Structure 1
Amino acid sequence: MELKELLDYIKEKHNIEEHDRWDSFLTMSRLYHPLTGKMMALLIKEWNSNTGRWAEHCDLKYDASLFDRMKEYIVAPLRMHGSSWVGISFNDKTDRDHIFELFDKAVLQGNPSKDTALSDNRKSNTVYTDTPLPFAKGSDFLKKKEYIPEKITEMRKLYRYDDCSGQLSAKNFYRQAKFMEDYEDDYHGQVCDISGYFTTYHDLSDKQLRAYFTWRTEVRNGVYNKTFTSFIYLYIYELLCGIGSSSPVDSLNKLKEFEEKFIEGGFLEDSTQIKRNLHRWYLEYSLVKGFSVDEVKKYIEKDVLDRDHALEILKKSGNYNDMEIFEAISFFAGKRFLNSVSLKKEREKSIIIYAYVWKFILKAGNIDGKSIFTHCFGRLQNRSIYPLLNAVYRDDKVISDIDYIVNGVRSYHCKSGRWKEKSYIRACFNKKKLVSIVHEIDRLIRDEFKLGYYLKPNMEDTRIADLIAVAFNEAVKEIKHNERKRINVDFSVLKKIRNDAEITKTNLLVDEDIDEKDDIQNTIEKHYIEYDDGNKSKTENSDFNKISEKSDDINLNILKYIVAGKDYKQLIRLNNMFTSIITDNINEAFFEEIGDNILECEGDEIYLVEDYREDILNIIGEIYE
Structure 2
Amino acid sequence: MSVRAKKGDKMDSNQLFKYVYAKYGLKFKPAVPGSTSVYVLMSPVDSGYFAILSRGQGQSILDLKCGAMAALIRDLPGFTDPMKIKAADWVGTILEKVSEDSLKKALDFAFKLAMNGDEVNIAQNQYFYIAPDKVDDRYQAQAIKPSENLRKKHNNSLVPDRIRKMLEVYDYSILPSRGRAKNFYQQARMMADYDDDYPEFFAFKRFYPTYHDMNTGQLRSYFTWRSKIRQHVFEKTSTSYAFVYIYELLNNIGVDDAQDGYEKLLEFEEKYVRQFDISIDVYLQDWLKDYVLYYDLDEKIIKQRFASEIKRDHDYEVLHHPEKFTAQELAAVFAKKTTYWNSSKVINKNEKLFVQLLRYVWLELLDAKKYGIAYYSAFVGKPDIIEKPIFVGSVFYLRKQQVADHQIDAVRKYHFYQGKWQIHCDQQISRQRVNLNNFLHELDRVARTEFKLGRSIKPRFIDQAVLKAINAGIAEYRIQEKKAQIDQIKIDFSDLDQIRANASKTRDSLLTDEEKQLEQAEAQEEVEKQADETVKVDNDYGLDENEMFFLTALLMQQPWQTYLKQHHLMASILMDNINEKLFDEFGDVVLENNEQDQPQVITDYVDDLKDMFLKG
- Within 2, Cα distance between the matches of 1:281 and 1:383? 17
Are positions 1:281 and 2:283 aligned together? no
- In the alignment, the residues of structure 1 paired with residue 86 and residue 370 of structure 2 have an alpha-carbon distance, to the nearest angstrom, of 33
Determine helix, strand or coil for the equivalent of 2:382: coil
State the match for 1:488 in structure 2.
Answer: 490
| TM-score, length basis structure 1 | 0.56
State whether structure 2 residue 245 is matched by structure 1 residue 235: yes
- The answer as to whether partners of 2:387 and 2:421 remain within 8 angstroms in 1 is yes
Distance 1:343 1:375 in 2: 26
Question: Which residue matches 1:138?
Answer: none
Distance 1:171 1:294 in 2: 31
Provide closer, same or farther for how the CA distance between residues 211 and 33 of structure 1 changes in structure 2, counting only shifts above 3 A.
same
Change (3 A) 1:505 1:32: farther
Offset of 1:179 from its aligned partner? 1.1
C-alpha RMSD over aligned residues: 3.9
TM alignment of 1:522-541, pairs within 5 A? none
SS at structure 1 position matched to 2:465: helix
What residue number does 2:196 align with? 185
Output the amino acid matched with 1:475.
Y
Q: Which has the larger radius of gyration?
A: 2
Separation of aligned partners in 2, 1:406 and 1:358: 26
Picking from 416, 421, 424, the partner of 1:422 is 424
Distance verdict in 2 for CA 1:497–1:258, change over 3 Å? farther
**Aligned with residue 473 of structure 1, among 468, 472, 475:** 475
User: Deviation of residue 429 (structure 1)?
Assistant: 5.8
Indicate the SS of the match to 1:116. Answer: coil
Within the candidate set 100, 112, 123, 1:116 is matched to 123
1:304 aligns with 2:309: yes
Could you tell me how far 1:280 is from its partner in structure 2?
0.8
Is the CA contact 1:443–1:457 (under 8 Å) kept in the aligned structure 2? Answer: yes
Which residue among 134, 156, 172 is the counterpart of 2:183? 172
1:251 match: 261
Aligned residue identity for 1:431: R
| 1:173 to partner: Cα distance | 1.0
SS in 2 for 1:283: helix
The question of 1:358 aligning with 2:367 is answered no
Shift in alpha-carbon separation, 1:397–1:474, aligned structure 2, 3 A? closer
| Contact 1:170–1:394, Cα closer than 8 Å, also in 2 | yes
Q: State whether structure 2 residue 402 is matched by structure 1 residue 399.
A: yes
* Residue 435 of structure 2, aligned match among 433, 436, 455: 433
List runs of 5+ in structure 1 lacking aligned partners. 1-27, 45-56, 63-105, 120-141, 510-625
Name the structure 2 match of 1:376. Answer: 379
Could you list the per-position Cα deviations for residues 199-256 of structure 1 after superposition, in whole angstroms to 9, with x for gaps in the alignment? 1111122222222111111111111111121111111000011111011121111101
Distance 1:150 1:165, change over 3 A: closer
Q: Does structure 2 conserve the Cα–Cα contact (< 8 Å) formed by 1:356 and 1:475?
A: yes
Tell me the alpha carbon deviations over residues 433-490 of structure 1, each in whole angstroms, 9 at most, x when there is no partner: 1221122112333344444365322133233123212222332343244245434343
Assess, with a 3 A threshold, how the Cα gap between structure 1 residues 107 and 411 changes in structure 2: closer, same or farther.
farther
Give the TM-score of the pair, scaled to structure 2.
Answer: 0.56
| SS state at 2:408 partner | strand
Counterpart residue number, 2:216:
206
Q: Contact 2:407/2:413 (CA < 8 Å) preserved in 1?
A: yes
The reply to whether residue 153 of structure 1 matches residue 164 of structure 2 is: yes
**Could you tell me how far apart the structure 2 residues matched to 1:192 and 1:59 are?**
33
Distance (whole Å) between structure 2 residues aligned to residue 254 and residue 412 of structure 1: 24
* Pairing 1:132-151 to 2, within 5 Å after superposition: 147-151=158-162
> Equivalents in 1 of 2:462, 2:482: separation in Å?
30
Q: CA deviation at 1:292?
A: 5.5
**How far has the Cα of 1:299 moved from its partner?**
2.1
**Matching residue's letter, 1:274:** I
| Residue 347 of structure 1 pairs with residue 358 of structure 2 | no
* CA distance in 1: counterparts of 2:259 and 2:290, whole angstroms: 13
Do the aligned partners of residues 108 and 147 (structure 1) sit closer, same or farther apart at CA in structure 2, a change above 3 Å counting? Answer: closer
What is the identity percentage for the equivalent residue pairs of Structure 1 and Structure 2? 28
SS in structure 1 of the partner of residue 199 of structure 2 = coil
Q: Is the 8 A contact 1:383 1:420 kept in 2?
A: yes
Q: Check 1:210–1:466 CA distance in 2 against 1; reply closer, same or farther (3 A cut).
A: same
Q: Which amino acid aligns with 1:281?
A: W
- 1:118 deviates by 10
- The answer on whether the counterparts of 2:122 and 2:208 sit within 8 Å (CA) in structure 1 is no
Equivalents in 1 of 2:492, 2:125: separation in Å? 79
Distance verdict in 2 for CA 1:428–1:251, change over 3 Å: farther
Q: Relative to 1, partners in 2 of residues 1:175 and 1:111: Cα closer, same or farther, differing over 3 Å?
A: same
Mark the CA change 1:60 to 1:207 in structure 2 (over 3 Å): closer, same or farther.
Answer: closer
Equivalent pair of 1:297/1:406 in contact (CA under 8 Å): yes
SS state at 1:446 partner = helix
Q: Which ranges in structure 2 are unaligned for 5 or more consecutive residues?
A: 1-60, 75-79, 91-112, 127-152, 511-616
Does the CA contact (< 8 Å) of 1:440 and 1:459 recur in 2?
Answer: no
- Structure-1 separation of matches of 2:302 and 2:165: 39
Q: 1:326 aligns with which of 322, 328, 331?
A: 331
Q: CA deviation at 1:417?
A: 5.1
- Residues 240, 285 of structure 1: 8 Å contact kept: yes
Alignment CA distance shift 1:255-1:58 (3 Å)? closer
User: What residue in structure 2 maps to residue 5 of structure 1?
Assistant: none
Letter in 2 for 1:197: F
Which residue is 1:462 aligned to? 464
